[in-house]
A and B are shown apart, each in its own frame.
Chain A
Amino acid sequence: MTRFFRYVILLGFFLLLAGPLIWQLSLSFKGIGDDLYAQPPQIIPSDPTIRNYGDVLDRVPVFRYVLNSVIVALIVVGGNIVGATLAGYALARLTFRFRGLVTALFVVALLVPIEAIIIAQFLLVRSSGLADTLLGVALPTCVAALNVLLMRNAFQGIPMELEEAARIDGAGVWQRFWHICAPQVRGVMTVVAIFSFVGAWNDFLWPLIVLSGEENYTLTLGLNRLRGTFISDPRLVAAGTIIALAPILAVFAMLQRYFFKGLQAGGIKG
């Protein structure tokens, strides 16, 4: 009996969470013959068509936006993997003066909410001539303090003896990093990569502030335009959102287990 209730409640939650997506999908396939405001509402289109998708692609340069988002995401993901891994290694495995101070610096940076410095960031990007460029969008997040600290934690988990043996054999710091330590933290690197990607792909506020020319719009900015352009036709808005959702859902489907792992590696323990 309780099992029955459990699944009833689960199904209820499922409808609440998946329902809006299903409705959007249904809308995107509805044709001119469909009464959008029929009562009761129709889930299955009576006049199914894929024209809405073609129309959106015709009217809005979606592929251009996708390309821009991919460029930003690539810079951010690459920067975070390289920058955070290198810095994390130094903080965890090397001894040097001011190590505590530098670690503290990253912690402080973690505590600064982006929204509170975003105007100053914009002034900086603007005065360096990067306003309205994709590089300007990508640079401020291309190494995140959080990822540096995550990588530091990961490197700290490697037994010292492993590296010590290589050191006795005369391995320099770069060789120890590249051949011994870095391969051990590939899992966390994947997590850093995925979360950097999702963060960059979904970011809205910062591109909104930096970009002004439509040809530089990232996907989130371009989508935001749908609300103004197509507000009269929900079918087109729906088709646009489904196109935008497809890549991120594909990434999610492929790398699902890392998403769950990543949240747990974020240092959150009960």
Chain B
Amino acid sequence: MTSASIGRTHDRWWAPWLFLAPALAVVVVFILFPFTNTLALSVTDATLLKPGQFIGADNFVRLWSDERFRIAMINSTLYVICVVPVMIAAPLVLAALVNGTTRILGFFRTAFYLPVVMSSVIVGLIWTNLLDQRGLINQLLGWLGAIDTPIGFLSDRWLTLISAMVVTVWTGLGYYMVIYLAAMANIDRSLYEAAAIDGAGPIRQFLHVTVPGVRSTSALIGLFSSVSAFRVFGEVYVLTGGTGGTGGQNTTITMLIQQEGTGLQAQTGYAGAISMVMFVVLGGLLAAQLWFQNRGGDK
């Protein structure tokens, strides 16, 4: 990397800074400054209309006994616990199934990836039509005689949360599938041949060659999907019609930040404290992910 410094023409000292200026400006102004500002807000009683006084850790003490925060924390955490294992396992199975060069497999790959490019609002609306009291799923269950009264997929507390999780998984499967496909391309082919000679069928080849071969990718996807599961917003917002469910029973952390921090009643200081909690959880996960990615890249 040092060869650039022994060149014949000498660049002006400020040339690199001109190149950096737009990116640096945006990142400093819109990411780093708001971050320090969030930190500062979190120890004040600021609202949208007044700057607020320093109140030390009061906001965090208040969080501790805030029922809404407790519910949001439970919902977001449950989201991670339930969604992440599925995101690690199911896309791997999918990737193993669509791995190949035939046209039909290519078609399946594309089809499975499709939901990834859709916005959470569109996906939420599509699934609202399916999960509604009179939606397709209740219709099918009724027709099959499995139920007498429609199931409240979008009204019951836990069913709503599970429905949102299903939507999240539905949207994300294709994304992680492609990541697994890339990892599988790096597995040594002779391992499969050796396994086949030993008499291993496709399922045992999958379990004994593919699964261990993508282990580090699985761990990475675990971190990746934990971060995005904890941040969940759009699916839950749309499925609950923006309310977070009856009495806020389906509120997630991001929804709580949005509810507390916006509108004329906004308590920006308190929302800042919730944001800091989120930052600590996600920052930790993101840092782990980055560390892991660098380590994985060195191999």
Task: Enumerate chain A interface residues (CB-CB to B < 8 A).
Answer: 2, 6, 9-10, 13-14, 16-18, 20-21, 23-24, 27, 36-37, 39-41, 79, 82-84, 86-87, 89-91, 93-96, 99, 102, 105-113, 115-124, 139-143, 145, 148, 160, 163-164, 167-168, 170-174, 177, 198, 201-205, 208-209, 219-220, 223-224, 226-228, 234, 237-238, 240-241, 244-245, 248-249, 251-252, 256, 259-260, 263-264, 267-270
Contacts and interface: CB of A to CB of B under 8 A. Distances in A.
A60 to B, nearest CB: 13
Given A20-B170, A205-B233, A237 B119 contact: no
Contact of B128 (A17, A93, A237): A237
A204 B170 CA distance: 18
Interface of B: 1-5, 7-9, 11, 13, 15-17, 19-20, 22-24, 26-35, 37-38, 41, 94, 97-98, 108-115, 117-122, 125-130, 132, 134-136, 139-140, 142-143, 170, 173-175, 178-179, 182-184, 186-187, 201-202, 213-214, 216-217, 220, 227, 231, 233-234, 237-238, 241-242, 253-254, 257-258, 261-262, 266, 268, 271-272, 275-276, 278-279, 282-283, 286-287, 290, 293, 296-297, 299
Contact of A41 (B5, B139, B271): B139
B9 A167 contact: yes
Contact of A240 (B115, B118, B125, B170): B125
Contact of B296 (A82, A110, A204, A269): A269
B257 A118 contact: yes
21 contacts: A10-B97, A10-B98, A39-B143, A41-B143, A86-B19, A86-B20, A94-B19, A109-B31, A121-B30, A122-B261, A164-B3, A177-B19, A202-B120, A205-B258, A223-B122, A226-B125, A237-B128, A244-B119, A244-B122, A252-B117, A270-B187
Given A86-B23, A204-B234, A240-B125, A94 B11 contact: yes
Q: Which of B4, B173, B179, B258 has the most CB of A within 10 A?
A: B4
Contact of B9 (A41, A171, A227, A259): A171
B26 A79 contact: yes
A143 B26 contact: yes
Contact of A112 (B35, B127, B134, B257): B35
B129 to A, nearest CB: 5
